[in-house]
Amino acid sequence: MDQSPGSWSIQAPAPEKSSELYIRDHPHRSIAIVSSSHALILRYSSSSGDFAPNGSHASLHSNRGRNGAGDSTSAKCMVEFTPVTQKLLKDYRPLSHRPVYGTLGLIAVSGEVFLSIITQAARVASVRPGETVEQIGGVAFYCLSSADYDDVVPLDVVEPEMSDAVSTYAQNSPYGQNLSRRDVLPEHPCHELRKLLSNGSFYYSTDFDVTNRMQDRPMNSDSFEIDNFDDAFLWNSYMIKPLVKFRSRLMSQEREALDASRILTSAFRGFCKTMTIPQSSSPLRAKTGMPSYLTLTSRLSCRRAGTRFNSRGIDDDGHVANFVETETTFWSPAGVAFSYAQIRGSVPVFWEQAADLIPGRQKITVTRSPEGAQPAFNKHFDELEHTYGAVHVINLLSETKPGEVELSNLYRNGLRYCPLTRPSPDGSVDHALLRDTHYDFHAETKGPRV
C-alpha cells in the first residue's frame, strides 16, 4: 500500500475473500459458489418434496408465477452448504473465468429465480486493521430455474492484457453456447437492477458490520452476525434474507464456516474512502511507524430513497426521504479510534415538489396539515434520539424563497410541539434533547455581487 500523504491504493479484494462459480445442468440445474473449503449450492425447487443433506428451502415471493399471470405461488430454492470434495464437483463446470466475491442474494422475477453474484470489486477503504470495505464494480444475475437467459448474462469487463485468455475461455466454455444460434436475444429480467448495482454507488464488507457506526461495533471481533445488521442501510436486505434465514438453521460450527467463506455479503449505498496519514503528520505518534487511517463513510437509507423530485418529506412511519448518515472515523496505531457521525434528510413534514425545467421554479406543495403531520414528526425525532442521543438540527432552508419559508414555518411548528424540545426538569433549555439553529445556506455561501 502506498503510504504517501493522503493516498490510498485501490486494490482487488484479498484472495481469501474470493470464490469460484460452478454450474451443473443435470439431473437438476444447480449453481455452486465455492470457497477454498466449502460450497454453497443452490437450485430451483419445483416441489416441497425435494431434499438434500445439510439443505433447506428458501422461499421467494414473485409477482407472477412460472405458469402465468394468475399464478402467485412463491418460488422456492433448495440451498445446501457442504465441505468441498472432488466427488461433489465432479458434474460441475466453471461458470466464470474470474473469481467472484460472494452473493447479494436471491430474487424472483416473473416466476424465475435469479442468483445475484458480485463479479467485480475493488478495496477502497480500511476503517481500521481487519475492517476493509470493497466497492462493487460489477454484478451478474444467473437464473437457477431456466437456461433461457444464459446467453444474455453480460460478459465481464476485462483488462486488455487478459483479452486473449478471455477469448480462449469463451470459445471453450459451454456456458452461453447457444448465443450464435439465436436471432434475437431476450432482455434479461434483471437488466435494470444489474445496472443499478454496478453503477459504483454500492459498497460491501465481509469483515465487519458496515451498516452500523464504529460505536455500535465490537472493537476486537473476528466475526459478525449478518442477521443483526441495520435494515435501514442494508440495501440487499430483501435479496439476502432467504439465505440469512438458511444460515440461522445451520449448526453453530457450520454457521461459522459459512461466515468464514465470505460468501454472504451485505451492501450499502453511498460513499466510502480512506486517506492514509503518515506518522510524521499524525496527531498521535506510535512506535510502530504505521500510518493512521482517516475514513469517510456515507450511508444512504433504503427506507425512503428516491430521486430528488420523486421522494420528498416524511411518511407515517417517521422515515424521511434521502436520509444519509455520514461517519468520519480516525484510527491510530497508538491504539486510539474515533468516530463522529452527522445525519441529513428531507424536511420532516408531508410535502411534494414537482419537477420544472427552470431551476428555482419547482413548486412546493404541502400535503398534510401541521396537526396531521405531528405524530410522524414526533416519531422521526424519537427514533433519532434513540439512535444518536441528543439532536441539534441545522435548518438550511432559505429565508426568502416562498416555498422554503413555508417549510421552515412548518418545521418550527413541529419542533414547538415535539416533546423532545421541552426543557429539562430543572427548567434549563440547554439540556433539551432536541434543539435547532437556522442557517440560510444559499444566502451565506453565495458569491459577492459583481
Q: Where are the beta strands (DSSP E) in 144-254?
A: 202-205
Cα–Cα dist 23/276, whole Å: 41
Rank 21-35, 72-86, 219-233, 286-300 by mean pLDDT and report only the highest.
21-35
Q: How many helices (H) and strands (E) in the chain? A: 7, 18
β pairing state of 20-24 and 30-34 = antiparallel
Judge whether 267 and 136 are in contact, CB under 8 Å: yes
Query: Residue 412: helix, strand or coil by DSSP?
Result: helix
Rounded to whole angstroms, the Cα distance separating 295 from 276 reads 9
Q: What is the pTM of this model?
A: 0.84
Residue among 275, 270, 131 nearest 200 (CA):
270
Q: Would you state the cell numbers that stand for residue 130, as one nine-digit string? A: 481487519
Residue 439 is predicted with a pLDDT of 85
Q: Residues 394, 437: contact at Cβ < 8 Å?
A: yes
Phi, psi of 398 (to 5 degrees): -70, 145
Higher-pLDDT residue of 72 and 123 is: 123
The answer to whether 202 and 302 are in contact (CB under 8 A) is no
Quick count: other Cβ atoms within 10 Å of Cβ 269? 22
CA angle 116, 63, 299 (to 5 degrees): 45
CA distance 122 to 138: 10
391-395 and 434-438 beta bridge pairing: parallel
Q: What angle do CA 107, 226, 202 make, to 5 degrees?
A: 60
Q: What are the CB-based long-range contacts (under 8 Å, 24+) for 401-408?
A: 401/360, 403/353, 403/362, 403/363, 403/364, 404/364, 406/364, 406/366, 407/347, 407/349, 407/351, 407/364, 407/366, 408/438
Percentages helix, strand, coil for the chain, rounded to the nearest 5? 20, 30, 45
- What tens digit of pLDDT does each residue of 54-113 get? 555 566 554 444 544 444 456 788 999 999 998 999 999 998 888 999 999 999 988 889
pLDDT in tens, 131-170: 999 999 999 999 999 888 887 765 444 443 333 433 333 4
Mean pLDDT, residues 314-324 taken together: 95
172: its cell numbers:
471453450
Query: Cα separation of 197 and 95, whole Å?
Result: 21
Report how far residue 25's alpha carbon sits from residue 195's, in angstroms, rounded to the nearest whole number.
27
pLDDT of residue 74: 67
The conformation of residue 155, written as its DSSP 8-state character, comes to P
- Report phi then psi at 3, rounded to 5: -110, 25
- Work out the pLDDT band at 38, boundaries 50, 70, 90: very high
**Residues 338, 212: Cα–Cα separation, whole Å:** 14
123: confidence class by pLDDT, cuts 50, 70, 90:
very high
Nearest to 240 by CA among 212, 215, 206, 214: 206
Q: Which residue spans within 169-229 are E strands per DSSP?
A: 202-205
CA distance 125 to 367: 42
- What cell was used for 138? 460489477
pLDDT digits (tens, 9 = 90+) for 347-361: 999 998 876 655 556
Q: What are the backbone dihedrals phi and psi of residue 191, each rounded to the nearest 5 degrees, phi first?
A: -55, -50
Concatenating the DSSP letter of every residue in 78-121 gives EEEEEE--TTTTTT-EES-SS-B--EEEEEEETTEEEEEEEEEE
- The confidence band for 179, taking pLDDT boundaries of 50, 70 and 90, is very low
CA atoms within 13 A on the CB side of 280: 4
